A and B are shown apart, each in its own frame.
Chain A
Amino acid sequence: MRSTPDYYSDVQLFRGRRSWVKLAVLLAVLAILPLILPGYRIFTFNYMAIFVIVGLGMNILVGDTGQVSLGHAGFLAIGAFTTVLMMTEVGAPFLLALPVGGLVTALFGFLLGLPALRLQGPYLAIVTLGFGLAVTQIIGHWELFGGHMGLVVPTATLGPISLSGDVSKYYLIVGTALVLALCARNLSVTRVGRAFRAIRDSEIAAATMGVNVAYYKTLSFALSAAFTGTGGGLLAITTGFISPGDFHFLLSLMFLAMVVFGGLGSIPGAVLGSIAMGYLNLEMDAFEELPLLGPVLESFSDGFMSSAGLPNVGWVVTGLLIVLTILIEPKGLHGLWIRLGKIVGRGGMDTDAATGALAGAGASSSSPGSASAGPGGPPAGGN
């Protein structure tokens, strides 16, 4: 029997003083970070925060709804190009161009969601793969999009503030990532998030509960695409230049890998997985600069790889990391964290909350591993 009728605590993110303190510390650290980091590192953080936004979107589709996508780089491209064209062709301010980019991408997400109503597993994977490839092909052959040469992104402004430096972009991008993480977390504990996860666990039972499966599947695609498209718009102003080649298939694969790596269905996991993969994706060309490991990898690369050399080593390392994580813990980083908490002797709920504060996303009530570890993660494909 519950003593209090206050059921809000069931879904409340920041409960008690400790979680507020954690949030304050997180915000403070994020706020002063660009002031103490060397300039070139701020770009790394911006890039990782964009990956986090994409990861949150991937988690809604793959982790929560149990669908699969190998075409999210296509959504990233649509968001990026729409945002830039809104600025250059329509003359819209960035603050309008970015959400329009997100919304247009959501529309494409909805359209890609339609075949998902009939297809599952590998068949859906192939359709989304084709979508991602088609997007870059079409963009590459269209004069408006700058063809294969791509587009130079004009300097964005927020009212009187010019987003010319990495520091100002940092506050915008990291701020957006935090807000979107909060939104994703809220959605996951309420009716819509529950409907997504119901579809993942049993489509038949979901429909029997009155869940309109077709509606929520396409909604999940649209929402996931909206997050990714927003990430695309932010990516455009971060790199200052976009071309179809930036949105290649391996990037889609990376997006899928990062939510699996982080732990499917867990928002803190998606955040951590995205940060890790964003870092690897950016820095994989610079492996030779790593202490100790760098020279080893370099000699390995020179000895065995083609002239492309080191970049391939980066992918090999990324691939190995993913394989190892999945073999050791199918619930990814999130699962490892829970296990670590148990070994150290803290309760599962406590560690969950700690991950949440760390990720700025709060404990995800959806995370299947939060109470105790069962066999296997949630199914990735629909059933």
Chain B
Amino acid sequence: MAFFAVEGLTKRFGGLTALDDVSFEVERATIFSVIGPNGSGKSTAFNCISGIHRPTAGSVQFDGEQISGLGPHHIARRGIARTFQNIELFGNESTIDNLMLGRHQHMTTGVWRGLAMLNGRTHAARDECENRARVQHILELLDLDAVRERPVRELPYGTQKRVELARALAMEPKLLLVDEPTAGMNAHERTELGEQLGRLRADLDLTILLIEHHLQLAMGLADQVLVLNFGKPIAQGTPEEVRRHPDVIKAYLGDG
């Protein structure tokens, strides 16, 4: 069975079918790009996978388990992390605290131990220190150490995007969903982020589902590409196959 598989995924909002019978499989430690015009249902697919939306029909299998229908925090605990197209950071919190929230499920301090953190040897303090050390690596990996203590809403848009990615990585996920990570970035930042994503896959054995507007980047990174149009899958395959697919050319260039 595939590492990650979506079958017959459908999502309707009232009369609008945002996602129409979409199926695909993703192998471990690969990058799978989802492309398509605006409003074609890409983000909706991510929302269904991560449990923010309950799918109207269809199933999502992850690591040998059926996860569709579970709440978002249950899905997160199974090892799926994501970023959002419209940044969803904890704006008043510092960069480090945002990343520490990514560690939430790996930490064990509850309310009693939290209230009673008297010194560095208490459980709560050790829990903090161990997880801060882990998060520090990610801060440095994504070049965020300089803004470690800054409230994230003060940071430039591109930096916020990186914080969001870092926060997702702090969760140490097995599957990472990235929704338009380079939106609002300049060409240089975009190239850099693309390289970082490639390295993550290689270094961490991470499986990545990528929604990316910039076709060159989406195609360049991907092992497999899925093309959506009006919620329907119109093509799927290697970047080479998809590029030559007549329906794709029509959807992107024609009147579709």
Contact status of A186 and B133, CB under 8 A, knowing A205-B90, A209-B104, A213-B73: no
Contact present for B140 and A1 (CB under 8 Å):
yes
Instruction: Judge if B89 is at the interface, Cβ distance under 8 Å.
Output: yes
Choose among B71, B107, B150 the residue that contacts A207 (Cβ–Cβ < 8 A): B71
Of all chain B residues, which has the CB nearest A8?
A: B120
Most chain B CB inside 10 Å of its own CB: which residue of A1, A2, A193, A208: A208
B129 touches A192 (CB 8 A): no
- Evaluate contact between B127 and A191: CB separation under 8 angstroms: yes
Instruction: Assess whether B136 is interfacial by the CB under 8 Å rule.
Output: yes
B82 part of interface (Cβ distance < 8 Å): yes
Asked if A190 contacts B109 (CB within 8 A), the reply is: yes
Q: Contact between A190 and B90 (Cβ–Cβ < 8 Å)?
A: no
Q: Which residues of B contact A194 (CB under 8 A)?
A: 93, 97, 100-101, 104
Do B107 and A191 touch across chains, with their CB atoms under 8 A apart? yes
Q: Indicate if B149 sits at the interface (CB-CB under 8 A).
A: yes
- Whether B101 lies near A206 (C-beta < 8 A) is yes
Known: A8-B129, A219-B111. A205 touches B84 (CB 8 A): yes
> Among residues 56 to 108 in chain B, which have CB atoms less than 8 Å away from a CB atom of chain A?
71-73, 76-77, 81-82, 84, 88-94, 96-97, 100-102, 104-105, 107-108
Q: Which of B108-130 contact A (CB under 8 A)?
A: 108-111, 113-118, 120, 124-125, 127-129
- Known A187-B111, A191-B104, A194-B101: A212·B117 in contact at CB below 8 Å: no
Please tell me if A250 contacts chain B, counting CB pairs below 8 Å.
Answer: no
Q: Please, which residue of chain A has its CB at the minimum distance from the CB of B47? A: A204
| B101 and A195 contacting across the interface, CB-CB below 8 Å | yes
Chain A, 348-373, CB within 8 A of any chain B CB: 365-366, 368, 371-372
Residues of A within 8 A of B76 (CB): 207-210
Residue among B93, B110, B118, B133 facing the most chain A CB atoms (10 A cut-off): B93
- Complex: A17 Cα to B82 Cα, angstroms: 43
A378 located at the interface, meaning its Cβ lies under 8 Å from any Cβ of chain B in the complex: yes
* Bound Cα distance from A247 to B125, whole angstroms: 39
Q: Contact string, A219-259, partner B, CB cutoff 8 A, digits 1/0?
A: 10001000000000000000000000000000000000000
Taken together as a complex, chains A and B put the C-alpha atoms of A193 and B115 apart, in Å, by 10
State in angstroms the CA–CA spacing of A5 and B71 once bound together: 36
The reply to whether the CB of A72 lies closer than 8 angstroms to some CB of chain B is: no
The residue in chain B whose Cβ has the minimal distance to the Cβ of A220 is B111
- A89 beta carbon closer than 8 Å to chain B: no
CB pair B127 A198 closer than 8 Å: no
CB-based nearest A residue for B91:
A201
Pairwise interchain contact B153-A11, C-beta atoms closer than 8 A:
no
Chain A residue with Cβ nearest B177 = A208
Q: Which residue of A lies closest to B51 (CB)?
A: A207
B132 within 8 A of A: yes
Residue of B120, B127, B145 most packed against chain A (CB within 10 A): B120
Q: Which chain A residue lies CB-closest to B105? A: A210
- A47→B73 CA distance, assembly (Å): 42
Expressed in whole angstroms, the minimum distance between the Cβ of B72 and any Cβ of chain A is: 4
Q: Which residues of A contact B133 (CB under 8 A)?
A: 5, 7
Residues of chain A within 8 A (CB-CB) of B92 are 197, 200-201, 265, 366, 368, 378
A372 to B151, CA, bound (A): 9
Q: By the criterion CB–CB under 8 Å, are B104 and A371 in contact?
A: no
Q: Report yes or no: B117 in contact with A186, Cβ–Cβ below 8 A.
A: yes
Docked CA distance A8–B114 (Å):
14
| Known contacts A197-B92, A202-B88, A378-B92: A211-B104 contact under CB 8 Å | yes
Q: Which chain A residues border B127 with CB–CB below 8 Å?
A: 190-191
Contacting pair A192 B114 (CB below 8 A) = yes
**Are B151 and A202 in contact, with the CB atoms below 8 A?**
no
Residue of A nearest to B124 (CB): A190
For A143, what are the chain B residues with a Cβ–Cβ distance below 8 Å? none
What distance in Å separates the Cβ of B34 from its nearest Cβ neighbour in chain A? 18
**Which positions 2-60 of chain B face chain A at CB distance < 8 Å?**
50-52
> In the bound complex, do residue A11 and residue B101 qualify as a contact, i.e. CB atoms below 8 Å apart?
no
A200 to B82, CA, bound (A): 19
**Contact A205/B154 with A7-B133, A10-B128, A186-B116 known, Cβ cut-off 8 Å:** no
- B167 contacts chain A at the CB level, 8 A cutoff: yes
Q: Beyond A10-B132, A210-B105: 15 further Cβ-contacts under 8 Å?
A: A186-B115, A187-B115, A190-B109, A190-B127, A191-B104, A191-B107, A192-B109, A195-B104, A200-B92, A201-B92, A202-B89, A202-B90, A208-B81, A210-B77, A223-B111
Q: Name B residues whose Cβ lies closer than 8 Å to a Cβ of A.
A: 50-52, 71-73, 76-77, 81-82, 84, 88-94, 96-97, 100-102, 104-105, 107-111, 113-118, 120, 124-125, 127-129, 132-133, 136, 140, 145, 149-151, 153-154, 167, 171
Query: Could you jot down 18 A-B contacts, CB within 8 Å?
Result: A2-B136, A12-B120, A186-B124, A202-B91, A204-B52, A204-B84, A205-B101, A207-B71, A207-B76, A208-B81, A208-B88, A209-B73, A210-B73, A210-B104, A211-B101, A371-B151, A372-B154, A374-B154
> Which A residues lie at the B interface, using CB under 8 A?
1-2, 5-8, 10-12, 183-184, 186-187, 189-195, 197-198, 200-202, 204-213, 219, 223, 265, 365-366, 368, 371-372, 374, 378
Top-4 shortest CB links A-B? A210-B105, A210-B76, A7-B132, A201-B90
